[in-house]
Structure 1
């Protein structure tokens, strides 16, 4: 049976890391070793992690945030592991379901290079938190509907085969994949999105099976959410630019193009609605009323797993429409900044 080693990068996570470590201790199959990578911490993260039984690795002169800390830790632990062993990388603000390790290990069939988690939002955060939870539940539903294929190996929790990590590093050394010469790219704002493309470029499948649920932090303020989504969107666009058009990236590029079209169509819809009301007497046809009801029904049905409060919110349509407009603003700003080569800095959220 392969060894399972858990790796948790943490920057000033003294308050949140106990829950992450306790969830690992409750696994049906407890990892053989748990390492917490204390990265430039100014709080008691290392001491708290040690009290909860984790082995603490401290990063040294790391200026590359999470990716740099993970690369240093992998350099230390991989020499002692066999190719068939498994490395679980998870965020310090995330709690894994008790079945995660068992399910991820079981999904490591031939041709699978990594197994990603299916993330849900934790409670709290008011209306903003509820909107994120609805979004995450819809994403989880989408993963199930496409046969548990993972288009992004989420940074919240992903299990890698050691051999895959070694091949990624070698591919970067050989120049077949960019982003430096280590495991995680140092050139990407979204290291999880980039390493997904690296794994799939090497010919492996990425999956998110049943049982790999995780609960992670939601952003509680609009500025935090803005910075998080700007990093996600800008990173995704830049990763596609760096990889170019390939059989792996083609579906991602098409999806980004459709996102752009959705922005255009929403703006046209709003402009048309405003024009109708400006005329003083808007006209409603049975056809467009039916289309609107169909749209509301889809929103309500896809929010079902998030609970009845989420379904009520989805039924109003207006609040989620504002949330969609926020997401579109992030997309447009990210595209504009990338086209004008404006630097996007990594910010902790």
Structure 2
């Protein structure tokens, strides 16, 4: 029988933390222990965690990244499994119950479920909701069938503790520790598993300021992992290398796709409205089917899912800008020693009431 410890890294999370801890308390298979790393919070994060029965760990200073906060707690984990949960993520009551059986296979090093957005109030949350539903019901199942998931989401991943400790803990060398570990373990011959029936709800950026920060970090981290792992992936995990190559191809060709209606209108004599309609129709044909399936699979109102599609074009535009920036900086300028790349961890969401007025979290460099 598996035992499991939960690590919740938290910096100024007194608002969102209660829902996270309450979701852990409602688990049909309760965790053996919950460790909340109060990472130099200036609000009541520690008090809130203690009031919910968690063990509170307080580093002497702000550690500067989620991976470092998780590593601060790792020596206190004595169970065979470790569940890392973000302080703004709510797990379905059966999340742990759904995840545990995959670890009966000793070759499994890490596993995670699907992620949905907790809120769909703003354009940015609605767009991200569409991205999640599409990705977790199209890309991720295909990758899972090929035993090559691109990433086990860091907001809700379960790790085999012995493998994690042997690796040196949560990786701090890139800006996205979840992808780094997922790729590293598969390169080493271990399995990463996607558990579709385990559901986690994450709080996503509410405005452009924080959406931009999150996308910047995700895209830079992806390219850092490409730089770090490309060779070993091709040799030891070619199917995963194929997904990575396809993702890079999508980044490279995205501007061409966005420019298609304008090019068609100027070179073929087709009217601009007709060119735009053709472009939108072709894109929707590729998008709608997985979203309809996702709505049925998750018992979501279909109209509510489809009405969010236009918002996804707004978020995709931001994704393209920062994906290209990350590709140029991390894959070209950094190897040429012309840039350092992204080395600070910034959350994609405000962490204090003051932060919602535009104050960023204090951060320190992350090792590269």
Deviation, structure 1 residue 35: 1.1
Match of 1:136?
A: 132
Q: Distance in 2 between matches of 1:13 and 1:229?
A: 21
Match of 1:239?
A: 225
Moved more, 292-301 or 322-331: 292-301
Q: Distance in 1 between matches of 2:134 and 2:267?
A: 37
Q: Distance in 2 between matches of 1:69 and 1:141?
A: 31
Match of 2:196?
A: 210
Where does the alignment leave 5 or more consecutive residues of structure 2 unmatched?
A: 334-338, 349-368
Match of 1:36?
A: 36
Deviation, structure 1 residue 97: 0.7
Select which of 68, 71, 96 maps to 1:101: 96
Q: Distance in 2 between matches of 1:272 and 1:34?
A: 51
Deviation, structure 1 residue 265: 3.9
Match of 1:88?
A: 83
The 3-state SS of whatever aligns with 1:107 is: helix
Where does the alignment leave 5 or more consecutive residues of structure 1 unmatched?
A: 170-182
Match of 2:321?
A: 329
Instruction: Write out per-residue CA displacement over residues 275-321 of structure 1, whole angstroms, 9 at most, x where no aligned residue.
Output: 4545795269x9x988864542331222222632332443x6xx544
Match of 2:291?
A: 303
Superposed, 1:149-164 pairs within 5 Å as 149=147, 150-164=149-163
Deviation, structure 1 residue 203: 1.7
Select which of 106, 113, 120 maps to 2:116: 120
Q: Distance in 1 between matches of 2:208 and 2:84?
A: 28
Runs of 4+ with >6 A deviation: 288-292
Q: Distance in 1 between matches of 2:237 and 2:162?
A: 23
Evaluate the alpha carbon distance shift between residue 320 and residue 45 of structure 1 in structure 2; reply closer, same or farther with a 3 A threshold.
closer
Superposed, 1:209-288 pairs within 5 Å as 209-247=195-233, 248=236, 250-278=238-266, 281-282=269-270
Which structure ranks higher in relative contact order (CA pairs < 8 Å, sequence separation ≥ 6)? 2
Evaluate the alpha carbon distance shift between residue 204 and residue 220 of structure 1 in structure 2; reply closer, same or farther with a 3 A threshold.
same
Q: Distance in 2 between matches of 1:194 and 1:87?
A: 17
The 3-state SS of whatever aligns with 1:246 is: helix
Deviation, structure 1 residue 168: 1.3
The 3-state SS of whatever aligns with 2:42 is: coil
Deviation, structure 1 residue 47: 0.4
Q: Distance in 2 between matches of 1:146 and 1:67?
A: 25
TM-score (normalised: structure 2): 0.80
Q: Distance in 1 between matches of 2:263 and 2:228?
A: 42
TM-score (normalised: structure 1): 0.84
Deviation, structure 1 residue 240: 2.2
8 A Cα contact 1:7 1:88, kept in partner: yes
Match of 1:173?
A: none
Evaluate the alpha carbon distance shift between residue 15 and residue 321 of structure 1 in structure 2; reply closer, same or farther with a 3 A threshold.
closer
Moved more, 17-26 or 324-333: 324-333
CA RMSD in angstroms comes to: 2.8
Deviation, structure 1 residue 264: 4.7
Q: Distance in 1 between matches of 2:178 and 2:308?
A: 31
